[in-house]
Structure 1
Amino acid sequence: MDKTGRLGGEKITVDDLLQGRSPSLDLDCLYGLGPSDPQDARFYESDEVRLRMGITSADSGMAPLQGFDLARRASSTGEPGTALIPDHRNDENLAVAQLHLAFIRFHNRVVGELTGQGNPSVTIFDEARKQVVMHYQWMLRRDYLPRIVDPNIVEDVFTNGRKFFDVPVCASNSTTSRVGGVQPGDTPTMPIEFSVAAFRLGHSMVRAGYQWNSIFNNDDPPGDPRRFRPATLQDLFDFSGTSGSLTEIQPLPSVWIADFRRLFDLVRDGGAGPDLAPPAGGLNFARRIDTRLGNPLGELAPGSSAAEPGQPFDRITANLAFRNLMRADMVTLASGQQAAEHLEVGALSPEQILAGDNGVDLNAPAGKRNPDSAFTDEERERLVTHTPLWFYILRESEFNRGQLNGEKLDADGSPASEAVLSLRFSTGPWKGATTPSSETRPGGRNWVARRGTANSAWLTCCSTRSTVKRPC
């Protein structure tokens, strides 16, 4: 929800955070206000049902490929980024942009299935969006959350309900094709404790480099004579339209199309056949959730900050950890200790906060690399009594094997896990969370993975299937 562009440290009010994006899990970033909205119609094909896709550029012997880049404008034209999508932040790096494109392809494929069944044309968009949103929510509920949070806590929240941050819920709005939830323009209802701190835990999971496709990897032996090297995180920012320079005239080169076999375990988690298994050693894994961030996140590109025009961008501003901490201060965010007290759970001890568990050791003396890294006694006292919530959640995760599950603290449980679930799932109804595993796709064929989990690996498998030969 928070995409204001201020980075200078001035305070931000709740009214400043009002931005027109939906806080519900309704894929607002994919659909915007729908094809009938005059402003958002540009994201759709002329049939007002399918989402637009772009074409890649020829490179290294590979031809341009339609449908493997986001649709783009010729230039930024005063708007952030160049991708024709509702939220330009999804084009800040190539990994997110290609996943966004996978959802576009999935939507368009559902549209094709519904059209082939002879459904009335006036119902196809709403039905396709409903099915895509349901599967998205099902993936979050059944696949994503149990990977980062103790499954027992996930079940408890969905079984016994939320304890904090209730919000109003509106009926489905046929005008905007919303699937229930809070409408754009309503008072912000995503808790800032989530958007500014809790969900930024994902920053610690980012790798410095990726086995991206058959060209950008370190496979041994090389499977492609053009094999170059692994993709760096900086590469993924450079080949975007928000942090980088991609436009309609200069789109994504074909050699940078993502190989989803390397990004998701399509065989084990997606139920795909052996032909979609990644090359040996070519599967990327997220890093452990802890207080360490990859070095490239300390030197981000100016476009990744969403800074307002004329705002200075210096070395400290390029540091993602600094941005997170500064943002929390700008919105006067609660500390970790305050959040724990509010949630009525036990807090980390001062020694746990300082020493951690295989994370950043704040007791360590200043070194040659960071000569000013040591804390004064006053700073140390402030840190252990008013710990920034984002850092607190990452630190807590270190004591739980890189997962949010409440072990090794005390009998009261874990503020981080409660925060991530109780905060996030206070933002509207779940249309797909309780969908039975027998849910079928158009045509009666099963849309759910073999083990009853329609997850992100499975989605990419069915949305990117193509007879076009590409670097995957």
Structure 2
Amino acid sequence: MSAPSHHHGSRVAARDHCLSLVRAVDRPTGAARYGRMFPGLDPLGTDPQLLMRAGSDGGICDAAAVLDQLSPDGDDATEAAGWPFFGQLIAHDITADRSPITGGVGPEELRNARSPKLNLEIVYSDGPIGSPYLFDHGDPAKFLLGPDGGDVPRNQQGVALIGDPRNDVHLFSLSLHVALLHAHNRIVDWLRENGVPEAEVFDRARITLTWHYQWIVVHDFLPRLVGASLVEHVLAEGCRWFAPPSLEAYIPLEFADAAFRYGHGQIRHTYRLVDDGPALPLFPDLVGFGPLPADRRLDLTQVFDVPGRPPAQRAKRIDGRLAASLIGLPEQVTGEVDAAAYRSLAVRDLLRGETTGLPSGETVSRLLGVTPLTDDELGQSWPHGTPLWFYILKEAEHRGAGDRLGPVGGRIVAEVLIGLLRADPASYLSLEPDWEPALPVTGSGFGMADLLTFGIHRDQA
């Protein structure tokens, strides 16, 4: 595998609430912006009060109202529970909109505080030179870990020393982040064992992990989320709606503020962290932003299927409803809010689409040549059209059996992620499109289970 150079832009590092309403717009890392995937479509324009009622406690987005009608695990999906958290990690890697949810910043003025590349900036930040606090002083080719290897290092106040503080928001994002640190460190050992010169070890390890991560996005994550046939079609035929030239990538608002927020609908009501452990809701029980005690660690085989282990817990079916822990987010996540409705992630998702002027789901569907959902499928009639985020969730319920995105959501997600890789001259898909993973494989093809097995299990052996 060749070793292209990667440029890491500088940025201002600051502790911030993941969803705070009062944070200011950060300076971007570069010229990264948001844009429109469908620029010819008009904004929907929905009464914010209607959106707040829909997303609040007891509204149509609240799953608690139907829980008593379900058997245990009655809304389980096909795929494992860890995949929406992997999707969140991808989102953190490529986009960071620091504008307040209540608006005040025009869509054309929004800046992305992340480079729009799947380059693990959330992990590597500015590298051993620009971000030395992330790396082991005695072996700067490796990441520094917490004292027992199960957490990231933290300062004396418990604040994570991490490439992106959003990855400390809850146990699952933090556990995946730590798994990536272990994988990088194990790759360093692996490269040294294979005779790579010491001067090249860090860069080679970074590229190796980044390319294997990109491979997982294309060949493991996306087929589960949008279907293998759509992924194969986009790879073979190219992107019709999102094909930025090299080094001119941007993040479409239809992706960032609607389609790629699908994962909020896949969060389970409760999770086990270990075999026979108690069932805990994501919030407030598993909230982050503090040291991770040894008795509150996640066995990742509980949320990802790994050979030799029992099947993992499954993600929640996508049906337009969010678990109660997301309808009432804790203050550690939201910061102080002016209205109780802002504690609901559904309200935030609906309002974000309104403030950034997204078109209706029906309008996008017609543009793509797809028959729109009916009022019966949507569960209610929206006066002028359905908010794109909610439409994509209901489309997944009725056109994807609750297991994967439908034709509108799937098209947006597949084209954006593959389009970003093609616009990045350092990605494997641009530089060596025939490249294949070099790390050990336990099954028929390299995937997330192999990365977890290689990084966590071997690093702790």
After TM superposition, give the deviation of residue 109 of structure 1 in Å: 0.4
After TM superposition, give the deviation of residue 461 of structure 1 in Å: 1.6
Pair 1:440-2:432 in alignment:
no
Find the aligned partners of 2:134 and 2:412 in 1 and give their Cα distance.
Answer: 34
Distance 1:195 1:121, change over 3 A: same
The answer for the alignment partner of 2:126 in structure 1 is 33
Distance 1:167 1:73, change over 3 A: farther
After TM superposition, give the deviation of residue 87 of structure 1 in Å: 1.3
Describe the SS at the equivalent of 1:157.
helix
The answer for the alignment partner of 1:464 in structure 2 is 456
Distance 1:12 1:93, change over 3 A: farther
Pair 1:420-2:419 in alignment:
no
Pair 1:151-2:228 in alignment:
yes
Distance 1:25 1:90, change over 3 A: same
Distance 1:313 1:126, change over 3 A: farther
Pair 1:315-2:397 in alignment:
no
> Larger helix proportion, structure 1 or 2?
2
The answer for the alignment partner of 1:393 in structure 2 is 392
Residue from 171, 191, 204 that aligns with 1:127: 204
After TM superposition, give the deviation of residue 468 of structure 1 in Å: 6.3
The answer for the alignment partner of 2:358 in structure 1 is 333
**5+ residue gaps in structure 1?**
56-65, 77-81, 171-181, 183-187, 218-228, 268-273, 356-361, 363-379, 407-413, 442-446
Find the aligned partners of 1:391 and 1:198 in 2 and give their Cα distance.
Answer: 9
After TM superposition, give the deviation of residue 425 of structure 1 in Å: 2.3
Map 1:281-292 onto structure 2 (within 5 A).
283-292=312-321
Find the aligned partners of 1:298 and 1:331 in 2 and give their Cα distance.
Answer: 22
Find the aligned partners of 2:285 and 2:111 in 1 and give their Cα distance.
Answer: 28
Which amino acid in structure 2 is aligned with residue 148 of structure 1?
Answer: L
Distance 1:428 1:143, change over 3 A: closer
The answer for the alignment partner of 2:443 in structure 1 is 450
**5+ residue gaps in structure 2?**
1-94
The answer for the alignment partner of 1:205 in structure 2 is 266
Residue deviations 1:160-187 (CA, integer Å, cap 9, x gap) = 11011222324xxxxxxxxxxx6xxxxx
The answer for the alignment partner of 2:301 in structure 1 is 261
Find the aligned partners of 1:85 and 1:3 in 2 and give their Cα distance.
Answer: 19
The answer for the alignment partner of 2:251 in structure 1 is 190
Find the aligned partners of 1:68 and 1:404 in 2 and give their Cα distance.
Answer: 32
Are the counterparts in 1 of residues 266 and 318 from structure 2 also a CA contact under 8 Å? yes
Describe the SS at the equivalent of 1:386.
coil
Are the counterparts in 2 of residues 30 and 104 from structure 1 also a CA contact under 8 Å? yes
Map 1:101-112 onto structure 2 (within 5 A).
101-112=178-189
Distance 1:9 1:304, change over 3 A: same
Find the aligned partners of 1:404 and 1:467 in 2 and give their Cα distance.
Answer: 33
After TM superposition, give the deviation of residue 432 of structure 1 in Å: 4.2
Describe the SS at the equivalent of 2:150.
strand
The answer for the alignment partner of 2:117 in structure 1 is 24
Which amino acid in structure 1 is aligned with residue 129 of structure 2?
Answer: S
Distance 1:334 1:33, change over 3 A: farther
Are the counterparts in 2 of residues 206 and 287 from structure 1 also a CA contact under 8 Å? yes
After TM superposition, give the deviation of residue 8 of structure 1 in Å: 2.6
Sequence identity percentage:
29
Distance 1:289 1:381, change over 3 A: closer
Of 117-126 and 427-436, deviating more is: 427-436
Pair 1:115-2:197 in alignment:
no
After TM superposition, give the deviation of residue 115 of structure 1 in Å: 2.2
Residue from 113, 138, 142 that aligns with 2:219: 142
Are the counterparts in 2 of residues 35 and 49 from structure 1 also a CA contact under 8 Å? yes
TM normalised by structure 2 equals 0.72
Which amino acid in structure 2 is aligned with residue 54 of structure 1?
Answer: G
Distance 1:87 1:120, change over 3 A: same
Find the aligned partners of 1:112 and 1:48 in 2 and give their Cα distance.
Answer: 13
Pair 1:83-2:112 in alignment:
no
Pair 1:51-2:146 in alignment:
no
Describe the SS at the equivalent of 1:233.
coil
Find the aligned partners of 2:355 and 2:313 in 1 and give their Cα distance.
Answer: 35
After TM superposition, give the deviation of residue 13 of structure 1 in Å: 2.7
Are the counterparts in 1 of residues 284 and 330 from structure 2 also a CA contact under 8 Å? no
Are the counterparts in 2 of residues 26 and 133 from structure 1 also a CA contact under 8 Å? yes
Are the counterparts in 2 of residues 237 and 301 from structure 1 also a CA contact under 8 Å? no
When Rg is computed on C-alpha atoms for both structures, the one with the higher figure is 1
Of 155-164 and 396-405, deviating more is: 396-405
The answer for the alignment partner of 1:221 in structure 2 is none
Find the aligned partners of 1:257 and 1:302 in 2 and give their Cα distance.
Answer: 22
The answer for the alignment partner of 1:444 in structure 2 is none
Distance 1:449 1:260, change over 3 A: same
Describe the SS at the equivalent of 2:127.
coil
**RMSD of Structure 2 on Structure 1 (CA):** 2.5
Are the counterparts in 2 of residues 153 and 405 from structure 1 also a CA contact under 8 Å? no
Find the aligned partners of 1:102 and 1:313 in 2 and give their Cα distance.
Answer: 37
After TM superposition, give the deviation of residue 5 of structure 1 in Å: 4.9
Are the counterparts in 1 of residues 350 and 387 from structure 2 also a CA contact under 8 Å? yes
Are the counterparts in 2 of residues 44 and 52 from structure 1 also a CA contact under 8 Å? yes
Find the aligned partners of 1:54 and 1:342 in 2 and give their Cα distance.
Answer: 50
